[in-house]
Structure 1
Amino acid sequence: MTKRPLVLLDVDGVLNPVRRHSLWLRHHECVLDGQTYRILLNARHGRKLAALARHTGAELAWATTWEQHANVEIGPRIGLPQLPVIKVNSDPGSRAGEHFKTRHVAEYVARRPFVWFDDNLAAPDWQYLQDHPGVDEFLLVDVDPRTGLTDAHLAQARAWLADRARPGLDGAGAPSG
């Protein structure tokens, strides 16, 4: 099994902020299951996320209620290829106050280090992941849904991932030897 790190992407609030605050954001309309959604996307995000993955050796994956629709409606509009999708819509309940996506993420990561960009995570999510036996190192990047993903968020992720790639560290981030 690979220890290649993951970068997990939410859509609403992260790639699709709740308000237009930048000229880089463009309106798009998507029709999903007969319902029209108006979204805001920054086409530069795809290039920046791809660069983050390339420079850190990470794999991008969707962690969004858009699930496979993200590969059809979001990825192509921002220049991302087809990405793996974490199925998160099957169990909307919470067990310990965590977001309903958190349990699905914990199962998916399979001890791989990961960064998760989301606008809906809090202390119960961190605690759930910390206590889950299938989760090792992770960084939760709290994105303000009013502004969405920023260069500061990407820099935070890049620094954290680069720190994990240093020679002499094992998969848990402790010095080996």
Structure 2
Amino acid sequence: MRRPLLFLDVDGPLNPWAAQPYGRPEGYTTIVVALQPGRALPVWLNPGHGEALLALDYDLCWATTWMDAANRWIAPVVGLPPLPYVDFGAGLFALRPDGVHWKTEAIVAYAAGRPFAWVDDEQSPADEEYVGRAHPGAALLHHVDPRVGLREEDFTALAGFAAGLRT
């Protein structure tokens, strides 16, 4: 059996952007990313996250607005190799009338029936319903608090889901 996919969002799970008013969380480092000329974006990343993610029984894949830029800016800091990514193309930030997140349909299509977990800070019950209808495989939509990013309990939940697929 192939390992499940783990779709990774950057802003929220890896970059706890909502912690800004409270200060950088312990264990995180700051990088400044210039994605567009004249616009610098501070990003907080935990260098230990890569090792923890690689220890999970998943094939990792970016599912982020950063798309391939995550391999250049994020992966080296957190200790990940270059990863495949979901190309959201024209669907980037496209609002849906049914309340489903703009990433959800593309993630389900990318998974192509393969079991997956998706860590993000923007999922809703509408996404759970969509995945339940449109995806024939097992799926875990795991919400990560964007004030704290990925924590031990998140890794435990992800490991438990993957282990449950083998039984």
TM over 0.5: yes
Describe the SS at the equivalent of 2:90: coil
Report what 1:4 is aligned to: 3
Describe the SS at the equivalent of 2:12: coil
Give how far 1:33 is off.
2.5
Residues 16-37 of structure 1: CA deviation (Å, up to 9, x unaligned): 0022453201111011132211
Amino acid at match of 2:50: G
Q: Trace 1:97-136 onto structure 2 (pairs within 5 A).
A: 97-132=99-134, 134-136=135-137
Give how far 1:95 is off.
4.3
Instruction: Note the residue ranges of structure 2 that are not aligned, 5 or more in a row.
Output: none
Report what 2:159 is aligned to: 158
Structure 1 segments of 4+ aligned residues over 4 angstroms from their partners: none
Whether the 8 Å contact between 1:86 and 1:108 is mirrored in structure 2 is: yes
> What is the aligned-residue RMSD (CA, Å)?
1.3
Give how far 1:111 is off.
0.7
Give how far 1:96 is off.
1.7
Residues 33-89 of structure 1: CA deviation (Å, up to 9, x unaligned): 32211000000001100111xxx2x20000000000100000011110010100124
| Shift in alpha-carbon separation, 1:162–1:50, aligned structure 2, 3 A | same
- TM-score normalized by the length of structure 1: 0.86
Residues 144-170 of structure 1: CA deviation (Å, up to 9, x unaligned): 11011111001001011001012xxxx
Whether the 8 Å contact between 2:24 and 2:44 is mirrored in structure 1 is: no
Give how far 1:136 is off.
1.4
* Seq. identity, %: 36
Report what 1:144 is aligned to: 145
- TM-score normalized by the length of structure 2: 0.91
**Larger relative contact order (C-alpha < 8 A, sep ≥ 6)?**
2
Report what 2:32 is aligned to: 29
Describe the SS at the equivalent of 1:90: helix
Give how far 1:135 is off.
3.8
Distance of 1:59 and 1:66 partners within structure 2: 18
Report what 1:170 is aligned to: none
Aligned length: 160
